[in-house]
Structures are given as C-alpha cells and as structure tokens.
Structure 1
Amino acid sequence: MEVVIAPAEELARLAAGAVEGLLRAKPDAVLGLATGSSPLAVYDELARRHKEGLSFARARAFMLDEYVGLPADHPERYRNVIEKEIASRVDFPPDAVQGPDGLAADLPAACAAYEEAIAGAGGVDLQILGIGTDGHIAFNEPGSSLASRTRIKTLTRQTREDNARFFGGSVEDVPRHCLTQGLATIMEARHLVLLATGRAKAEAVHQLVEGPVSAMWPATIMQLHPHATVLVDDAAASRLQLADYYRQTYADKPEWQGL
C-alpha cells in the first residue's frame, strides 16, 4: 500500500493523472466510480482534462453502490449524481456507465446480475474510493464480511447521519438500505485509489493504513491488495504514526514509477 500525503488539490491531480495514464495506455479501460464528497475534485480535474483532449469514448465504468427505493429522478440517486458529476461532462458512450439497480423488483437477482456485468467487462482496471468515518468503503459497513459480494445492506445510523447533508440535513430522508459492491468484489479491481481529506477521516485512515485487518474497519482489507494507493491530506493523515516515513518515501520515489 502506497500512502501519499499532500494538499487536497494535489491529491485530485494525482488521482486524475492515474486515470489519464490508464486511458492513454488502454483506451477501453474499465473504471470504478465512487460517489460522496471525496472524489468530486477528481471528477472536476478529469472534466478539465477531457476539454484538453482526454477521451472516455471507448471506456466503461461501474458504480460502487446505489440507494434502494429512491425514485429514478431523485437528485441523490447515485446514478443521477454520477451523471451530473462526471458522466455528462466527458464523452462516455451511452450506457457505458452502469450501476446496481436500487429499484429492481428482485434485489438479490439484480445484485447477481451486476456481479456478472462487471465480470463480463473484464473486471475493473482502476477503482476510485472514498472512506467513511467508521471505515466503510462503498456501503460495506462495519461487520461486513471480507468475502462479501454485491448485495443489499442496511445503513448504520452513523452513515445516514453523515449523508444527511445531501438530503437537506434530514437523516430521516436518507434511505435505510442500499445495494453495494462487496469487499471481495472491490478487491478484484486491479488498482485501488482511495482519497480522504479532513480531520473527521483521521481515525478511519489510521485504521486503514496501520491497524489490523478487521471487519470492524472494512477498508483495512485494502492492506491485502497488491496495488492500493491511499491519497490523504495533512488533516486526514494526522493520526498516522508513520506519517513522516510516508512523506519521505513519496519524496524519494523514482519519477518513472507512477502511483
């Protein structure tokens, strides 16, 4: 696992640079897209680079998760959020971005179909991730099986409170259930790029990077991934015991190596 500590704007440029490098080497790459506040600056940077010539015309993308039961036109439905924040701002082909169907009549079948769709696309080449204050990635809440696949999950009160800001501050308006890629599904992506900023994420980042692998902090499974990148600002890195070492390692990194 590589840990990079830098200002938030630099983190966004690094993540976008990893996506650009992948698309230029493999134009038909499969991207994994996350929602929440963490990747927004990355999407802004990718949209800017698209205006300068970066193409998504042969790429495909899969979303991490979706709320269950939100109407198709609800602004916080994750498919609509992704359309607004990135898909409509670049040249993805029609239907190139897929997400789990939170309105399906048969949710378990929809989850199985989503797993099949990811596998049929050849798997995800680069997955963008955020992390919750309780250590969840996607909507894999504490206690999630480390072997989990795409499934329905009940959201914790903490997650719903954290997401209430997107629903006018009302936690009761935040759905109680979601469909989410499982931890094992996420781990099959060939490169994981996680972003975290702010002191509220400091304990989760500490557990992610330096804690034991545990279902109580689901993101810690990333320690077992062969190509995981963690991009954090100073505030999110404030609990890291080896922060100085991570800074030194990145400063001394060979330029050719990339993320």
Structure 2
Amino acid sequence: MEVVIAPGAELARIAADAVERLLRARPTAVLGLATGSSPLAVYDELARRHTRDGLSFARARAFMLDEYVGLPADHPQRYRNVIETEFASRVDLPPGAVLGPDGLAQDLVAACAAYEHAIADAGGVDLQLLGIGTDGHVAFNEPGSSLASRTRIKTLTRQTREDNARFFDDDVAQVPTHCLTQGLATIMSARHLVLLAQGRGKAEAVHQLVEGPVSALWPATVLQHHPHVTVLVDDAAASRLQLGDYYRETYAAKPAWQGL
C-alpha cells in the first residue's frame, strides 16, 4: 500500500495522472468510477485533460461502485445521473460505456448477479477510484460487511445516511435506506485501487485503513491485502497516521518514472 500525503488539488492531479497513464498505454482500459465528493476534483481534472490535451475515453469502459435502490430514473442524486453529469458527459465516453447496478430492477438479487457477470465479461476493472466513509465503509460496504462479499443489496447505516444528507437538501429522511453495491471481494478484484480522502473527518478511517488491523468493523482495511493500492490523502486526513513522516519521505524520494 502506497500512501501519498499532499494538498487536495495535488491529489486530484496525481489520481488523474494514473488514469491518463493507463489510457495512453491501453485505450480500451476498464475504469471503476466512484461517487461522493472525493473523486469530483479528479473528474474535473480528467475533463480538462480531455478538452485541453485530447485525452480520449472513446474506447474505454467504466463500471460504477454502487447505486441507491428505488430512486426514480430522473432523480439528480441517482448515481447513474451523478456520474453522467460530473464525468461521462464531459468526456467522449460512448453511450452505454458506463454501467452501474440497477437500483430499479424488479429482481434485485438477479440484477446484482448480472452486474458481477458484466464486470467479469469486460475482463475486470483496471483502475478503480474509491473514497472512504467516516466509519470506514468503502463503496456501500458498511461496518460488519463480509470481506468476501460480492455485489449485493445493503442497508445503509444511520451514519452514512446522515453523511449523505447534504446531497438531499440536508434531509436525512430523503436518503434511501438501501443500495446495491459492489462487494469488498469485487473491489479487490480490480488491478489497481486508488483511494482519495480529505478532511479531518476522515482521519480515523484513514488511520484504520492504513495502520489498523484488518477487520469487518472497518471494511476498507481489507485493502491492505491488495497488491496495488494507492491512498491519496491531504494533511488533515493524514493527521492520525503514526507513520505520516515516513510516508512523506518515501513519496518524496520516489523515482519519477515509477508512477503510482
């Protein structure tokens, strides 16, 4: 696990560098897209590079991490619509290139199984963007989630719904109680995981993720078992890290050619 501590704007650039390097080498790459506030600056940077530098997504495919259950198809906070607004419509991803779990399916269990098959049929995800919740959830794998879980329906915790109420006019009652989410084992199948976290509110979760024991109480800690994880955090989110100075020294001494 590589930990990079840098200002927020720099974190977005570093993450975008990883995506661009992948696409330049493999234009047909499969990307994993996250929602929430953490990846927004990355999407802004990638959109700029598409417009300014001609970075193309025309042959790429993408899979979303999760989706609310039951939100109307035209709801602005339906994650499929969020990704369209914040990213897909700003680059040249072709129609149908972005897939997400179907939170409006009549048979949610079958929809989850179909989504797993779709990811496998695409050859798996090459680079997965991630955020982390204040309680250590990744995607919508809440505390107590099986570390071997696959795409499934989950009940959101009160904490997660309160954290997400800011997207629903600060009204927690509007936040759905259920979602479909990639499981932890599904996420772990991606070849490169890039997790972003900013702010002191994420400090304990980042500490547990990087330096704590692997535990279902902090689901993101399973990432410690992945062979290629990059954790991008600002000073506030890194404030609980016991080895923060070491991580800074390591990244400063890293050969420029190595990338993430």
TM-score range, shorter chain: over 0.9
The answer to whether the aligner puts 1:19 opposite 2:19 as a matched pair is yes
Alignment of 1:30-69 (within 5 A): 30-51=30-51, 52-69=53-70
The answer to whether the aligner puts 1:192 opposite 2:227 as a matched pair is no
Partner Cα separation in structure 2 for residue 153 and residue 111 of structure 1 = 11
The answer to whether the aligner puts 1:120 opposite 2:121 as a matched pair is yes
User: Could you say which residue in structure 1 is the equivalent of 2:130?
Assistant: 129
The answer to whether the aligner puts 1:10 opposite 2:31 as a matched pair is no
Partner Cα separation in structure 2 for residue 143 and residue 4 of structure 1 = 28
Partner Cα separation in structure 2 for residue 186 and residue 2 of structure 1 = 17
Deviation per CA, 1:128-151, whole angstroms, max 9, x where unpaired?
A: 000000000000000000000000
Partner Cα separation in structure 1 for residue 136 and residue 49 of structure 2 = 31
Q: CA shift at 1:254, angstroms? A: 1.0
SS in 2 for 1:159: helix
Partner Cα separation in structure 1 for residue 168 and residue 94 of structure 2 = 30
Partner Cα separation in structure 1 for residue 47 and residue 252 of structure 2 = 28
Number of aligned pairs? 259
The runs of 5 or more residues in structure 1 that have no matched partner are none
Q: CA shift at 1:255, angstroms? A: 1.1
Alignment of 1:230-245 (within 5 A): 230-245=231-246
Partner Cα separation in structure 2 for residue 233 and residue 134 of structure 1 = 18
SS in 2 for 1:206: helix
Partner Cα separation in structure 1 for residue 72 and residue 256 of structure 2 = 47
User: Could you say which residue in structure 2 is the equivalent of 1:172?
Assistant: 173
User: Could you say which residue in structure 2 is the equivalent of 1:228?
Assistant: 229
Identity of aligned residues (%): 85
Alignment of 1:56-205 (within 5 A): 56-205=57-206
Alignment root-mean-square deviation, CA: 0.3
Partner Cα separation in structure 2 for residue 197 and residue 128 of structure 1 = 14
Q: CA shift at 1:154, angstroms? A: 0.0
SS in 2 for 1:71: coil
SS in 1 for 2:179: strand
Q: CA shift at 1:105, angstroms? A: 0.1
Partner Cα separation in structure 2 for residue 87 and residue 107 of structure 1 = 25
Partner Cα separation in structure 2 for residue 200 and residue 246 of structure 1 = 20
Partner Cα separation in structure 2 for residue 85 and residue 217 of structure 1 = 29
Partner Cα separation in structure 2 for residue 213 and residue 254 of structure 1 = 30
Deviation per CA, 1:8-29, whole angstroms, max 9, x where unpaired?
A: 0000000000000000000000
Which amino acid in 1 is paired with 2:172? V
Q: CA shift at 1:196, angstroms? A: 0.2
The runs of 5 or more residues in structure 2 that have no matched partner are none
User: Could you say which residue in structure 1 is the equivalent of 2:250?
Assistant: 249
Which amino acid in 2 is paired with 1:119? A
Which amino acid in 1 is paired with 2:19? V
Deviation per CA, 1:176-215, whole angstroms, max 9, x where unpaired?
A: 0000000000000000000000000000000000000000
Which amino acid in 2 is paired with 1:234? D
Partner Cα separation in structure 2 for residue 107 and residue 164 of structure 1 = 24
TM-score, normalised by the number of residues in structure 2: 0.99
Partner Cα separation in structure 2 for residue 187 and residue 32 of structure 1 = 12
